[in-house]
Chains A and B, each alone.
Chain A
Amino acid sequence: MKKFEVQNVKDTRSGFGAGLSELGKTNPNVVALCADLTGSLKMDAFQKEHPERFFQVGIAEANMIGLAAGLAIGDKIPFTGTFANFSTGRVYDQIRQSVAYSNKNVKICASHAGVTLGEDGATHQILEDIGLMKMLPNMTVINPCDYNQTKAATIAIADHEGPVYLRFGRPAVPNFTSATDKFEIGKALMLNEGSDVTIFATGHLVWQAIEAGHILAEKGINVELINIHTIKPLDAQAILNSVRKTRAVVTAEEHQMNGGLGDSICQLLARELPTPVEMVAVNDSFGQSGTPDELMKEYGLDATNIVAAVERVMKRK
């Protein structure tokens, strides 16, 4: 199992803030809107550098989505920012009609996704957002894994014409991808080549999967690890190529099992290449208050659970 050097430990939302600030300097059409969470979303740099292109909308997310659609009509590239819960579930119909169906070039940027939001509890810990967004025609869904990748994804989506949902999080996590990697929407990233099992991971679970890979290597299991940062469109070719080799799959994500990355991969494999799959995800439950690490453990989302899932799926080969 390949070793990954941790450059530092940083929150993915700061990667978003840094990417947005850079876009402000390079792309005059980029505008930003925020629903009273500028600090939490790390949008303060953009706000300070480009006050004429930043719109504070207050605690009014439905209006924010409509405003963004209207700005996109006028050839602006709007980035909306709030928590993932208020970016999706709260404004689903606004996104559906004014953004997705109308195919507007709006970037819905969502922080504090999943249980790692922590102590605020289940009211704020959305675990259904990937499912909600991936069901919408025209929508691209991206969930990067660390600071560098989130920054690169933020910059990349400005050049993609069409609605995008960009999901990231609150806690500081290992930053291990290269700061110079170009982000390619829809391209699965091979992190480690192996032959016994493929782990497909997204977001915060990519690092957990790396740790699991090392534990499994010690047990003599040779893991192929692929980072699926783009859940839609799914890189079907890369997934099928890997599974043809390993014939066993574990998916890992900080999301409900229903509607997440694992769900998309299972659909693909059921159609193209029926294969045993184990899913590391939240099993039809809401979260609760706690620290991010406690919650990852409580809901079965850490490296230990990925190791166990690999051992289960190996027996089903």
Chain B
Amino acid sequence: MTDIRTLEQTATQVRRDILRMVHGAKSGHPGGSLGCADFLTALYFKVLNHNPKFNMNGKNEDVFFLSNGHISPLFYSVLARSGYFPVEELKTFRKLHSRLQGHPATAEHLPGVRIASGSLGQGVSVAAGAALSKKLNDDKNLVYVLMGDGELQEGQNWEAFMFAAHHKVDNLIVTVDYNGQQIDGSTMEVLGLGADIEAKLKAFGWEILHMDGHNMQNIIDTMAKAKTMTGNGKPIFIIMKTEMGQPIDFMVGSHKWHGIAPSDSDLEKALAQLPSTLADY
């Protein structure tokens, strides 16, 4: 299907952007950014009802929050490629006086960003609040969140999970990037989340879906299904299996590339695995 093919090509370009941005800044978080590239591309180019002529209040459109703010290169690339701001601005990532701060922020008024994130565990709470405001405003659009799996170690998430179920915040779709990695190692080694995240979230009163974060068709289908499940009294949680660093052969599946920049030769090797589909910035 051409639609899927186009989305895949866009995701490839987004991955090139991510690597070039992190390389240019000599810092940043390529691993999780690459791993979530298919999902966020699908979200902004297919799933969301959104308006790149950015309105902070997000009224009458879907609203997305990035809770794991360290994958900002991905967020910025997708926003730029969707028309929120010029693609050339990606080269200012993490530089002095840039609107593209190390972690997403609102102070510089970058279109597309509605809340600062980076200090982990706050996105689901903010999104639940935004979802409540949509109900009060009689706005039928949805609120989406992407969060990390290591981020589930932050206690505030579980406060938010409890709240959203209790208050029937059923216009909220949270996707967790289930890559099993965090800075210090695998999530199981660092602080085990338990074998069964699904059972935990179910016990908290959420609807659960599973998704293959590297299968574009599966992402589109799962998000469509999630949308049909909204409005039924329960928030929705999607466990998205991904590989950190996907698909770069020397990065994939390793926590080592969580938060370091590629060298010149690393970049060259990595870009060779990602044929340019749209023009580089």
Residues of A within 8 A of B (CB): 31, 52-53, 55, 57-58, 60, 62-76, 78, 93-94, 96-98, 101-104
Contact = CB atoms under 8 A, between A and B. Distances in A.
20 contacts: A31-B136, A52-B136, A58-B162, A58-B163, A62-B122, A66-B124, A67-B132, A67-B163, A70-B115, A72-B129, A74-B59, A74-B130, A74-B132, A74-B134, A76-B136, A94-B156, A97-B119, A97-B122, A98-B122, A101-B116
Interface in B118-139: 118-119, 121-134, 136-137, 139
A132 to B, nearest CB: 16
Contacts of B162: 58, 60
A109 B8 CA distance: 48
Given A75-B59, A93-B119, A55 B130 contact: no
Contact of B133 (A63, A64, A73, A102): A73
Contacts of B136: 31, 52-53, 74, 76
A138 B21 CA distance: 30
A98 B116 contact: yes
B155 A69 contact: no
B107 A66 contact: no
B223 interface: no
B116 A97 contact: yes
B159 interface: yes
Given A71-B129, A73-B129, A101-B105, A57 B163 contact: yes
A56 to B, nearest CB: 9
B56 A63 contact: no
A169 to B, nearest CB: 27
Given A63-B163, A67-B163, A102-B106, A73 B130 contact: yes
Interface of B: 56-59, 63, 105-107, 114-119, 121-134, 136-137, 139, 155-156, 159-160, 162-163, 166-167
Q: Which of B58, B121, B126, B128 has the most CB of A within 10 A?
A: B126
A70 B162 CA distance: 17
Nearest to A74: B133
Given A55-B132, A60-B159, A70 B126 contact: yes
Contacts of B118: 97
Given A70-B129, A73-B129, 16 more contacts: A62-B121, A62-B155, A63-B156, A63-B160, A67-B160, A70-B125, A70-B128, A70-B130, A71-B130, A72-B129, A74-B58, A74-B130, A74-B137, A94-B156, A98-B115, A98-B122
A103 to B, nearest CB: 6
A305 to B, nearest CB: 40
Nearest to A91: B156
Contacts of B105: 101-102
Contacts of A98: 115-116, 122, 125-126
A64 B121 CA distance: 13
Q: Which 10 A-B residue pairs are closest in the complex by CB-CB distance?
A: A70-B129, A74-B133, A66-B125, A63-B159, A60-B159, A67-B129, A70-B130, A70-B126, A62-B156, A71-B129
B159 A71 contact: no
A102 B123 CA distance: 13
Contacts of B159: 58, 60, 62-63
Contacts of B167: 55
A62 B163 CA distance: 12
Contacts of A102: 105-107, 115-116
A70 B117 contact: no
A66 B57 contact: no
A74 B163 contact: no
A75 B119 contact: no
Given A74-B57, A75-B59, A103-B107, A62 B125 contact: yes
A76 B128 CA distance: 13
Contacts of B131: 70
Contacts of A78: 129
B115 A73 contact: yes
A55 B164 CA distance: 11
Nearest to A33: B129
Contacts of B56: 73
A76 to B, nearest CB: 5
Contacts of B114: 73
A243 B254 CA distance: 64
Contact of A69 (B121, B129, B156): B129
A67 B161 CA distance: 12
Contact of B107 (A60, A93, A96, A101): A101
B163 A75 contact: no
Contacts of A68: 129
B165 to A, nearest CB: 12
B192 to A, nearest CB: 23
Contacts of B128: 63, 66-67, 70
Contacts of B133: 70-71, 73-76
A65 B163 CA distance: 13
A77 B146 CA distance: 25
Contacts of B125: 62-67, 69-70, 94, 98
